[in-house]
Chains A and B, each alone.
Chain A
Amino acid sequence: MSWTFNDDRPIYIQLMEQIQLRIISGVYKVGDKLPSVRDMASDASVNPNTMQKALTELERTGLVFSQRTSGRFITEDSNMIKHIRNHLAKEQIEKFLYNIGKIGYTKQEIIQLLETISKEMK
């Protein structure tokens, strides 16, 4: 998974989203130790201060926590991760329904179409 950024939003917020995505998709696993701020910053090619800010903000949400001497870890609360995962899925589906609704499909047609296409893709 590579880091990508767009131009119109703060970088630390985009970092938060992408770290979150790595957590819910299992790239970073429940209870895992995160790499150091410096390594993560280097990996994402961002300023270490910005990465620090993103992680501090994520700590506030509870998704990661830091232990004084040993570093920063992913939460062990798998329910929290599941909850965020569901929330993101809902967001994507709402976005999709909104966009496809604009093309003029009814909900019924969309569901049928989804079934057909997902079968074709297999």
Chain B
Amino acid sequence: MTTDKNKLLYDSSENDTVSNFTNSNLDNNPILECKNLVKSYANAEALKGIDLTINRGRIVGLLGPNGSGKSTIIKLANGLLTPSSGEILIAGNKPGIETKKIVSYLPERTYLNDWMKVSDVINFFKDFYDNFNAEKAYEMLQKLNINPNDKLKTMSKGTKEKVQLILVMSREADLYLLDEPIAGVDPAARDYILNTIITNYNENATIIISTHLISDIERVLDDVVFISYGKIFLTKSVDEIREDEGKSVDTLFREVFKC
């Protein structure tokens, strides 16, 4: 092939069909939208007017110190809490039956019954969710050396967390909400799990990860949202932060939220 021919080819790269991961055509159809979202508890205001739009096909880190409101946003998105005022929309709908079909949620605490075997839980999920892929779940269990016949009761905290994350990631959802997904998991399994996340998610799906373990997940994130005292402090892409600040998201976080 001559250089000239090459030239022509890379001139046409703007509408390159290989680019499966650019989702600009979907950008006007956000998967999650918060409009002046406020949530007050009896004696505290957890969210003080959040405006946030998250598009499809992104992996987003929801980052903030303890008590900043991360879990509150995730619980509102799941309909586990209701807004005090303002609005939260999932693919244009208020959280409810319709949105639960397309949202796969990993809560910060386990809700599975201890007496169940992993295979029982998988059957349970299969019954419950149309979009649950049991094959995928078994494959991931095998990779992490977890026996499907083990009871949850006999498992360590970290192993239980792995099982839950596998269940959540085995659903073919539009939005994954992962609240502290890797906190109790050892570094080697962490790598495997992050790899699972980036290889398995559908390119139109969005993953929102709330975490403190920024340096571990920084490489897999597109965008970050810094939240502080119930307000959005910053929303930017990881590479923009590195370009503008000359430092990693982890370093920036430590500076911004220095105690």
Instruction: List residues of chain A with CB under 8 Å of any chain B CB.
Output: 5, 7-13, 31, 37-38, 41-42, 45-53, 56, 59-60, 62, 65-69, 71-72, 75-77, 80
| Number of A-B residue pairs with CB-CB distance less than 8 Å in the complex they form | 104
Residues in A neighbouring B113, C-beta threshold 8 A: none
Q: Are B13 and A46 in contact (CB under 8 A)?
A: no
Contact A47 B10 (CB under 8 A): no
Residue B157 CB within 8 A of the other chain: no
Q: B89 within 8 Å of A by Cβ?
A: no
Q: In whole angstroms, what is the CA distance A13 to B18 when docked?
A: 20
Contact with A along B230-249 (1 / 0, CB 8 A): 00000000110011001110
Interface centre among B199, B246, B251 (most CB of A within 10 A): B199
Contact A69 B17 (CB under 8 A): yes
Q: Which of A12, A66, A68 contacts B239 (CB 8 A)?
A: A12
When distances are taken between beta carbons in the complex, the residues of chain A under 8 Å from B222 are 47, 49-50
Nearest-Cβ distance from residue A14 to partner chain B, whole angstroms: 9
- Residues in B whose Cβ lies below 8 Å from that of A5: 219
Which of A38, A60, A67 contacts B199 (CB under 8 A)? A38
A37 touches B219 (CB 8 A): no
Give the chain A neighbours of B247 by CB distance below 8 A: 7-8
Beyond A60-B10, A65-B9, whether A48 also contacts B219 by CB under 8 A is: no
B19-27, B69-77, B94-102, B119-127 - the one binding chain A: B19-27
Whether B152 sits at the interface, judged by CB under 8 Å, is no
Complex contact A45–B191 (CB within 8 A)? yes
Verify B239–A59 contact, CB threshold 8 A. no
25 examples of A-B residue contacts, CB within 8 angstroms: A8-B242, A10-B238, A37-B18, A42-B198, A45-B219, A47-B59, A47-B220, A50-B239, A52-B19, A52-B21, A53-B239, A56-B16, A56-B19, A59-B16, A60-B10, A62-B6, A62-B10, A65-B13, A66-B10, A66-B18, A67-B9, A68-B18, A76-B6, A77-B1, A77-B3
Give Cα distance in the complex from A53 to B243, angstroms. Answer: 14
- Given A8-B242, A56-B16, A60-B10, 18 extra CB contacts under 8 A: A8-B246, A8-B247, A9-B243, A13-B239, A41-B198, A45-B219, A47-B59, A47-B221, A48-B198, A50-B239, A52-B22, A59-B10, A60-B13, A62-B3, A65-B6, A68-B17, A75-B6, A77-B3
Chain B neighbourhood of A69, CB < 8 A = 17
Residues of B within 8 A of A72 (CB): 18
B7 within 8 A of A: yes
Q: Which of A51, A65, A68 touches B10 (beta carbons < 8 Å)?
A: A65
- In chain B, positions 205-257 with a C-beta closer than 8 Å to chain A are 219-222, 238-239, 242-243, 246-248, 250-251
CB contacts (< 8 Å) of A49 on chain B: these are 21-22, 57-59, 222
